[in-house]
Amino acid sequence: MNAIVMDGLAAGKIDAWQVEDAVRDNVWLHFTQMAVYEDRDRRPLMLVRGDGSTVWDIDGNAYLDLLAGIYSVNAGYGRQRIVDAMAAQAAEMPFVNPFGYISVPTAVLADRLGDLAPLGGEARVFFTSGGSESVESALKLAKQYHTNTGYPHRWKTVSRRVAYHGTTMGALSVNGLTDARSAFGPLVPGARHAPMSHRYRCPYCQDAAACSLMCYDEIERIVEFEGPDQVAAIILEPVQNAGGCIPPGSSEYFTKIRKLCDDTGILMIMDEVICGFGRLGTLFASEFYGVEPDLITVAKGITSSYAPLGAVLARKSIADSFAKPVSDELPPPVAAARQAGFLHGLTFGGHPVSCAAANANLDIMLEEDLP
Share of the chain above pLDDT 70, in %: 92
Domain chopping of the chain, boundaries: 1-44, 91-367
* pLDDT, tens digit, 9 for 90 and up, residues 285-313: 999 999 999 999 999 999 999 999 999 99
pLDDT at 23: 79
Residue 14 has pLDDT above 70, yes or no: no
Q: In the prediction, which pLDDT does 4 show? A: 46
Q: What confidence score (pLDDT) does residue 199 get?
A: 83
For residue 10, pLDDT beyond 70: no
Buried b (16+ CB within 10 A) or exposed e, 4-43: eeeebeeeeebeeeebeeebbeeeeeeeeeeeebeeeeeb
- pLDDT average, residue stretch 194-206: 86
Q: Which of 242-251, 260-269, 340-349 is predicted most confidently?
A: 260-269
Mean pLDDT of 146-155: 93
pLDDT tens column, 308-330: 999 999 999 999 999 866 566 77
Q: Would you identify the CATH topology of the domain 91-367?
A: Aspartate Aminotransferase; domain 2 (3.40.640)
More confident residue, 13 or 237: 237
pLDDT surpasses 80 at 1: no
CA atoms within 13 A on the CB side of 215: 26
Length of the chain: 371
Cite the DSSP H helix spans in 245-331: 252-264, 285-289, 316-320
Complete DSSP assignment for 230-250: GEEEEEE-SSB-TTTSB--SS
Average pLDDT score over the chain: 92
Average pLDDT over residues 3-21: 60
Is the pLDDT reported for residue 243 higher than 80? Answer: no
At 13 the pLDDT is: 63
pLDDT digits (tens, 9 = 90+) for 36-62: 988 878 888 889 999 999 999 988 999
pLDDT at position 86, please?
99
Give mean pLDDT, residues 151-161: 96
Q: What is the pLDDT of residues 77-136, one digit of tens each?
A: 999 999 999 999 999 999 999 999 999 999 999 999 999 999 988 899 999 999 999 999
Closest CA to 359 of 49, 15, 127: 127
pTM for the model stands at 0.93
What's the pLDDT tens digit per position in 247-291?
998 889 999 999 999 999 999 999 999 999 999 999 999 999 999
Q: In this predicted structure, what is the pLDDT of residue 275?
A: 96
Dist. CA 271–CA 219, nearest whole Å: 17
* Strand partners for 318: none
